Structure 1
Amino acid sequence: MPTFRKERSGAPRGFFACEAAGLRWLAAAHGVPAVEVLEVDEQHLLLDGLVEVAPTARAAVEFGRGLAATHDAGAAAFGVPPAGWHGDGFFGPMDDPLPMPAAAEENWGAFLARARLEPLLDHPRAHDAFAPRTVAAIRDVVDRLLDGDFDDGDTPARLHGDLWSGNVLWTADGVTLIDPAAHGGHRETDLAFLALFGCPRYDEVLAGYEEVHALRPGWRARIPLHQLHPLMVHAVLFGGGYADRTDRAAQAALALPGVAAGRRR
C-alpha cells in the first residue's frame, strides 16, 4: 500500500498530533473522507498514499454534498479544537506555522474577532505587514463582530479550516481532504477558503452542497469577511500582494450590512 510521510525535525510540540486529530475528527463526520492516519509522533505523520485524477462534475457534486454533511456534524462551540486535541492549533506552512488559538465562544463573531483577527493584529510581524489604513479597517471589522453584526444564528460547523484547493485531493474514489486546521466555525468560512485561490468546478461543488444544506442568502457577498483571516496570515507570513488583498477584504467586510436580527448599519 502506498504511503505518504510528512516530517519535520524540530516541529512545534504537538504539531503532527494536532493534524492527526483533525483528520480523524473530519473522517468521523462521515461526509467528505479525510486521508487515513497510519502513525504519528512528534516529528512525523504517516498517511495513506493518494493518487490524484482530474476533477469531474460528478465528483464535484459529491464533494459538495459530503462537505455539507461534514459541516452538519457540528462542534461544541465556535473555536473548539478537534476531538483528541486540547489547546491551540496551528495554521500555515509546516516550516513556519502560526499558532491558531482555541476558543469556546457561543457566537461566531466573538470567536473570529478574539481568536483570529485580534491575535494577528498583535503579531510582531503585523506592524510591517499592514498599512495604518488596513489596521484601522480590521479593527472596525472587529468592533462589528463583537457587536454581533454578523451573527446569523447558525450553529458551529465542523470545519476543515484550511480548505484551499491544494488541500482538496481529487482521486478515483472522489475527493479526500488533507492538511486540516480543523475547528468549530462557520460553514461559510470553508466555502470562502475554496474560493480564495480557485477551486475546480466550484459551482458544481456549491450545487451539491445546497442539495444537503441551503446557504443563507447573501453568502457570496460575505466571502471577503470569511477570507480576511487567511489573507492576514498570508500577509504576515509572505508579504507581497497579500497586504493589498487583505485591505480590500477588510473594506468589503465593512461595507456589508449586518445580518443579526435584521440589524442594518
Structure 2
Amino acid sequence: MTPAGRDVFRKARAGAPEGFFAREAAGLDWLCVDGGPRVARVSDVGPGHLDLERLAPAAPTPAAARAFGRALAVLHDVGADAFGAGPTAAWGWSGTPDGWFGPLDDPLPMAGGAWATWPEFYADARLRPLLDQGRDRGVFTDDDARRVDAVRALLPRLAGAAADDEPARLHGDLWSGNVMWVRPAHPGDEPPAHPGDEPPADAVEAALIDPAAHGGHRETDLAMLDLFGAPHLAEIRAGYQEVHPLAPGWQHRVRLHQLYPLAMHAVLFGGSYVSATRSLLTELTA
C-alpha cells in the first residue's frame, strides 16, 4: 500500500490482472457482516488501484484477540452459497467465483465454482490447480504429483468429523499479516459528540485486509492464522469456540488445511517452502 491522502491508503499495481482490484473490493464488502470483524472499507477502485480507509495501528491484546475470535465465528456462520462461491457483485466485479491468491506482484489464479462437499472442493479447486501451477514453474516433480494425488484420494477420511460442514464465509488468506490490530473506529466514522464517547486509550480491535474471499471450510481460516503465528492465537481460538465449537478432532486437521497455503508459498517463493511442503505431504499420507 502507498499513501493516497490523509485518510486513504492506495494499493496499486500497473498491469494488474483484469478485475483484480474490483474482486478484492467486492470481497471486502462481502466480509462486512453484522457482528463480524471490522473490515477495511473501500473508497475507490480502478483497474490499477484500490483505495482503502487508513487504519491506525495498535498493539494486539489478549482481550482483542478473544473478541476477534468471536467475531470471526460470526462471519463464518453467515455462510456462502457453496464451497468455491465468490463474493457477490460489487465495485465493478461481476460476481464470478474465480479469484487470485498470492502477493500483489505475483497473484496466482484461484479457482471458484460450486462444490457440494469440502473434500471435493479441496481436491479439485485447490490441490489439483496448485499442482499444475507448481509443475508449470518447475517447482513440483512427478513424485510430488503422486503424493498430492494420494492426499486428494484420502481427503474424505482426513476431513473426519468436519467433512459434512456447511460452507463458511472465509477471508481466504488469513495469515497474521492480513489481520491488522487497530484503534477502534467511531460509529459511522464521525467525530464523537462528547469527549466521553471516545474509545478508551488502550482499546484495540482486529481489522481484516487483503482477502481472497470465498466459500470454504471454517477451519481453513483458523489454520492460516496458525501457519505463520498470529499473536494471542489461543485467545482467538477460545473466542471462536465460544460462538461456534469446532468439530471433534480439529487439532489433527490443522496441518491438512495448511497444505494449500504452504504449497502456494512453495510455488511462489521456492526455497525452504518446497521441502516443508514435501514433509507435510509425507505426514498426511503416512
Q: Given the two structures, how large is their TM-score scaled by the length of structure 1?
A: 0.91
Query: Of the candidates 103, 106, 112, which is equivalent to residue 102 of structure 1?
Result: 112
Q: Which residue of 1 aligns with 2:165?
A: 154
Q: Is the contact made by 1:23 and 1:180 (CA closer than 8 Å) also made in structure 2?
A: yes
1:18: how far off? Answer: 0.5
Q: Which residue of 1 aligns with 2:206?
A: 175
**Counterparts in 2 of 1:250-265, with a 5 A limit?**
250-255=281-286
CA offset digits 1:123-150 (Å, max 9, x no partner): 26456213444332211011123x5652
Q: Is the contact made by 1:110 and 1:148 (CA closer than 8 Å) also made in structure 2?
A: no
Q: Is the contact made by 1:225 and 1:252 (CA closer than 8 Å) also made in structure 2?
A: no
- Note closer, same or farther for the CA distance 1:144–1:124 as it changes in structure 2 (3 Å cut): closer
- The answer to whether 1:248 aligns with 2:263 is no
CA offset digits 1:194-227 (Å, max 9, x no partner): 0111000000011100110001121121111101
Q: Which amino acid aligns with 1:154?
A: D
Q: Give the 3-state SS of the residue equivalent to 1:128 in structure 2.
A: coil
Q: Which residue of 1 aligns with 2:175?
A: 164
- The answer to whether 1:60 aligns with 2:71 is no
Q: Aligned partners of 1:231 and 1:240: how far apart in 2?
A: 12
- Note closer, same or farther for the CA distance 1:117–1:51 as it changes in structure 2 (3 Å cut): same
Query: Of the candidates 16, 31, 56, which is equivalent to residue 21 of structure 2?
Result: 16
Q: Which residue of 2 aligns with 1:75?
A: 80
Q: Which residue of 1 aligns with 2:101?
A: 91
Q: Which amino acid aligns with 1:82?
A: P
Which shifted more, 153-162 or 216-225? 216-225
Q: Which amino acid aligns with 1:89?
A: G
Q: Which residue of 2 aligns with 1:219?
A: 250
Q: Is the contact made by 2:168 and 2:218 (CA closer than 8 Å) also made in structure 1?
A: yes
Q: Is the contact made by 1:64 and 1:205 (CA closer than 8 Å) also made in structure 2?
A: yes
Q: Aligned partners of 1:69 and 1:106: how far apart in 2?
A: 22
Between the two proteins, what is the percent identity of the paired residues? 52
Q: CA RMSD in A?
A: 1.5
- The answer to whether 1:141 aligns with 2:172 is no
Q: Aligned partners of 1:159 and 1:72: how far apart in 2?
A: 10
Q: Is the contact made by 1:21 and 1:82 (CA closer than 8 Å) also made in structure 2?
A: yes
**Counterparts in 2 of 1:221-236, with a 5 A limit?**
221-236=252-267
- Note closer, same or farther for the CA distance 1:251–1:29 as it changes in structure 2 (3 Å cut): farther
Q: Give the 3-state SS of the residue equivalent to 1:6 in structure 2.
A: strand
Q: Aligned partners of 1:149 and 1:199: how far apart in 2?
A: 25
When Rg is computed on C-alpha atoms for both structures, the one with the higher figure is: 2
CA offset digits 1:159-208 (Å, max 9, x no partner): 00000000000012200000000000000000000011100000001110
- The answer to whether 1:189 aligns with 2:220 is yes
Q: Is the contact made by 2:87 and 2:97 (CA closer than 8 Å) also made in structure 1?
A: no
Q: Aligned partners of 2:86 and 2:25: how far apart in 1?
A: 12
Q: Aligned partners of 1:199 and 1:224: how far apart in 2?
A: 16
Q: Which residue of 2 aligns with 1:198?
A: 229
- Note closer, same or farther for the CA distance 1:127–1:36 as it changes in structure 2 (3 Å cut): closer
* Count of residues paired in the alignment: 254
Q: Aligned partners of 1:124 and 1:161: how far apart in 2?
A: 20
Specify every segment of 5 or more residues in structure 1 that has no aligned partner in the other structure, as ranges: 256-265
